């Protein structure tokens, strides 16, 4: 069995683009 579930993959894939997006939003509106 894999050490990560399908839900974990969804969370990982959805959080990866959120990191530079958060930096971009902070740089633009911060």
The pLDDT of residue 16: 80
Provide the whole-model pTM.
0.41
pLDDT at position 2 is 61
Which pLDDT does position 15 carry in this prediction?
A: 80
Spatial CA neighbour of 16 closest among 8, 26, 4: 8
Those residues whose C-beta lies under 8 Å from the C-beta of residue 4, and which sit 6 or more positions away, are 12
* pLDDT tens per residue, range 1-30: 466 677 777 788 778 888 888 888 889 987
The pLDDT of residue 3: 66
- Position 27 scores a pLDDT of 92
- Residue ranges of the domains in the chain? 1-30
Q: Tell me the C-alpha distance between 20 and 26, whole Å.
A: 10
Cα–Cα distance between 6 and 4 in angstroms, integer?
Answer: 7
Cβ(28)–Cβ(21) under 8 Å? no
């Amino acid at each position: 069995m894999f050490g990560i579930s399908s839900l974990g993959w969804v969370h990982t894939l959805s959080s990866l683009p959120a990191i530079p997006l958060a930096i971009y939003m902070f740089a633009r509106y911060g």
